[in-house]
Chain A
């Protein structure tokens, strides 16, 4: 089955860190760029970060630049998001998604919830 499954979310205090993972299956993972997209409770979608097929090119939203790091391990069919210096405004459901040539996000995971609270 073609799918993406996120994990690693949880409750963390402001200033803390979390590492999210996204496991891909059912397709050739290293054929695709990947993105993280988040959705705060009751809010819209926000692109967080993206990475190309071999990890050689990455990008970040201004809101997370310098705090978050995206990476991938094609041997393990996995995508990661290291989140440091977390803030209350980072509270959201984090989805990973596969990116096509026109940045179309064709496959989405169900998301993992990150809550930043003291």
Chain B
């Protein structure tokens, strides 16, 4: 059971906008910033969004993040086939004094 809660799956058709939610608590998302990672099949995770809504260099602006209270979300607009991957949210947890991840959301592009 992961500390952060994500839906196990999401889907959309090319061009659509999809969102992935991430729910936590006051000790993690409520107190610290949220980061999002994309893991393509057979590869290492890649930082997609950091500090709730910042994109590292090279990440398309189709990807955006937001946070409100103890929840966060990742939005992908103009969905493309290459976006098919697993997506993880993550945050530092002050109570555990460690990092915590969501269980991951498998995005399927129909």
Contacts and interface: CB of A to CB of B under 8 A. Distances in A.
Interface of A: 35, 37, 44-47, 50, 59-62, 95, 100, 102-106, 108-111
B92 A45 contact: no
B65 to A, nearest CB: 12
A101 B97 CA distance: 15
B contact face: mostly helix, strand, loop, or mixed: strand
Contacts of A110: 43-44
A106 B100 contact: no
Given A47-B100, A60-B98, A102 B45 contact: no
B104 interface: yes
Most chain B CB atoms below 10 A, which of A61, A104, A109 = A104
Contacts of A106: 47, 50, 56
A102 B44 contact: no
